[in-house]
Chain A
């Protein structure tokens, strides 16, 4: 009987502990392969880029000066994971709507079909503000290339549904252009943790 009591208490305690993970932030690591030159450690940074958003405005690294931003890759006619990822991006947008230091950046990987007016219509239907969520297009090779810098895959693939192959990651970039966190944009629980990371990064600055 005593053993059972102890077991029951342990069960209750473990349930309690599982519901209350320790709060607080740890400094997020800088992600990517480091390069050590002499006594210096060089971390990979997002290279310079220039794209155009749904309001026909030029979007460059300068657009995100003194801000942190979240990146994804998608295409409008995508029949697979994109809507789920967009739903999670929208969650991030709404969670940080009152925080102007966070901006979202979605790249289309179908530049032929996803024209600026189509991107505009898409973002209007999501009911989001352009200065807080840029939907960009640009030279195809530039978009596919920069996807690699964001630890993502984006490429044409006639065998994939919709004709493109891409990952559904959300990636968090800090104001120094370092990658600091990422998650699976199709998994709401993964995005829960990601949003905690975003808050921690904002609190760092």
Chain B
């Protein structure tokens, strides 16, 4: 009986762990894997000096209002992330509607940024309506 109890405990703990690992932004996670992970990697770590990380990035926390425009319009020019200058063109991510964009950005913030930052579809709509024409150029302090 003791063994059965132990087995049930292990099974339940295992289930709890697996369940606990799931992001509350399941659609965002799926969209991230299909639209972002090729470059920013599944774990958000980026690629050395070529592609900036999202995981632990100071920029996504300090300037969250930039992200919807970067994803929608693309980005070019130098950018300083965690003390490293990156300068690769990011092409616009097409095919995400405002709700999907909110989900993917909420996933990114929840996993690697600030869990308190939340984008509602209405906010996304308002932000992207005010994106400048063309790709985003970021002015980052502390960069030559």
Q: Is B41 an interface residue (CB 8 A)?
A: yes
| A–B complex contacts, Cβ < 8 Å, 17 sampled | A1-B1, A8-B6, A8-B7, A77-B89, A79-B39, A83-B39, A84-B37, A84-B38, A84-B41, A86-B47, A86-B50, A90-B48, A124-B49, A125-B48, A126-B48, A126-B49, A127-B49
The yes or no answer to A80 lying at the interface (CB within 8 A) is yes
Q: Are B38 and A125 in contact (CB under 8 A)?
A: no
B38 and A80 contact, CB distance less than 8 A: yes
Verify if A81 is at the interface (C-beta below 8 Å from B). yes
Bound-state CA distance A85–B32 (Å) is 18
A205 within 8 A of B: no
The answer on a CB contact under 8 Å between A125 and B50 is: yes
A83 touches B91 (CB 8 A): no
Q: How far is the CB of A110 from chain B (nearest CB, A)?
A: 14
Which chain B residues in 1-46 approach chain A with CB under 8 Å?
A: 1, 3-4, 6-7, 37-39, 41
Complex A-B, nearest 6 residue pairs according to Cβ-Cβ distance, in ascending order: A125-B49, A83-B39, A4-B3, A125-B50, A126-B48, A83-B47
**Apart from the given pairs A8-B6, A126-B47, 15 other A-B contacts in the complex at a CB distance below 8 Å:** A1-B3, A4-B4, A4-B7, A77-B89, A80-B38, A83-B41, A83-B50, A83-B51, A86-B50, A90-B47, A124-B49, A125-B49, A125-B50, A126-B48, A126-B49
Q: Which residues of A contact B48 (CB under 8 A)?
A: 90, 125-127
Q: Mark A1-16, 1 if CB is under 8 A from B, else 0.
A: 1001100100000000
Q: Does A176 contact B (CB under 8 A)?
A: no
Q: How many A-B residue pairs have CB under 8 A?
A: 41
Indicate if A196 sits at the interface (CB-CB under 8 A).
no
A122 at the interface (CB under 8 A from B): yes
**Interfacial chain B residues near A124, Cβ < 8 Å:** 49
Query: Which of B7, B50, B51 has the most A CB atoms < 10 Å from its CB?
Result: B50
B interface residues (Cβ-Cβ under 8 A, vs A): 1, 3-4, 6-7, 37-39, 41, 47-51, 89, 91
Q: How far is the CA of A124 from the CA of B84 in the complex (A)?
A: 13
A1, A4, A90, A125: residue with the most chain B Cβ atoms closer than 10 Å: A125
Contacts of B6 in A (CB 8 A): 8
Q: Is A87 an interface residue (CB 8 A)?
A: yes
B3 touches A8 (CB 8 A): yes
Q: Please measure, in the bound complex, the distance between the C-alpha atom of A165 and the C-alpha atom of B138, giving whole angstroms.
A: 32
The reply to whether A81 and B38 form a contact with Cβ atoms under 8 Å apart is yes
- A87, B38: Cβ atoms closer than 8 Å: no
A-chain residues with CB within 8 Å of residue B41 when the two chains form the complex:
83-84, 87
Cβ-defined contact, B3 with A5, below 8 A: yes
Nearest CB in chain B to that of A77: its residue: B89
Q: B residues within 8 A CB of A127? A: 48-49
